[in-house]
Amino acid sequence: MSSLIRLSLSLNSEIAEKLDQMANEAGYTNRSEFIRDLIREKHTVLESERGAEVIGTLTIVYNHHRRGLTEEIISLQHNCQENVLASTHVHLSHEICAEMIMLRGTCDGIRSLAFSIKRLKGVLAAELNISPTGQNIS
């Protein structure tokens, strides 16, 4: 377990208020925990940009009545099978489907697949969430 280091920082009152407001809205009761999580999030972004491995969840909503769309979505996933860990399909209504696709790989690879699916006509929404794999986090 890593040791605890105390840091002090100086912020102007406007920034300090924003910090407390953001922490409160996110449900934090402790500034240190909030700042630690902000640093982790930023670190994930920077690592992702350097090509580190990440995991992602792509949630898509689409109209399966659109001719050929379901096949295209499946085909794109097969072409990136090394990145696709699993997927779950939910029938939202008579014609609308949702799919949650779990991904693993470089940020670029995962984003590329997400954009390929998002661009398809008939895809109504596509939201990609990226997380670290847990390596190099303390």
Provide the binding-site residues for Ni ion, judged by CB under 5 A: 91, 97
In this complex, which beta carbon is closest to Ni ion, that of residue 91 or of residue 119?
91
- Output the smallest distance, CB 58 to Ni ion, in A: 16
- Output the smallest distance, CB 70 to Ni ion, in A: 8
- Output the smallest distance, CB 137 to Ni ion, in A: 36
In this complex, which beta carbon is closest to Ni ion, that of residue 69 or of residue 97?
97
Give the Cα separation of 138 and 129 in Å (integer): 21
In this complex, which beta carbon is closest to Ni ion, that of residue 63 or of residue 106?
63
Give the Cα separation of 3 and 5 in Å (integer): 6
Fill in the DSSP letter of residue 10. Answer: -
- Output the smallest distance, CB 61 to Ni ion, in A: 10
The closest residue (CB) to Ni ion is: 97
What's 50-97 look like in SS3?
A: CCCEEEEEEEEEEECCCCCHHHHHHHHHHHCCCCEEEEEEEECCCCEE
- Output the smallest distance, CB 113 to Ni ion, in A: 20
If phi > 0 it is left, if psi is from -120 to 50 it is alpha, else beta; for residue 125 that is: beta
In this complex, which beta carbon is closest to Ni ion, that of residue 69 or of residue 107?
69
In this complex, which beta carbon is closest to Ni ion, that of residue 84 or of residue 97?
97
Give the Cα separation of 22 and 52 in Å (integer): 28
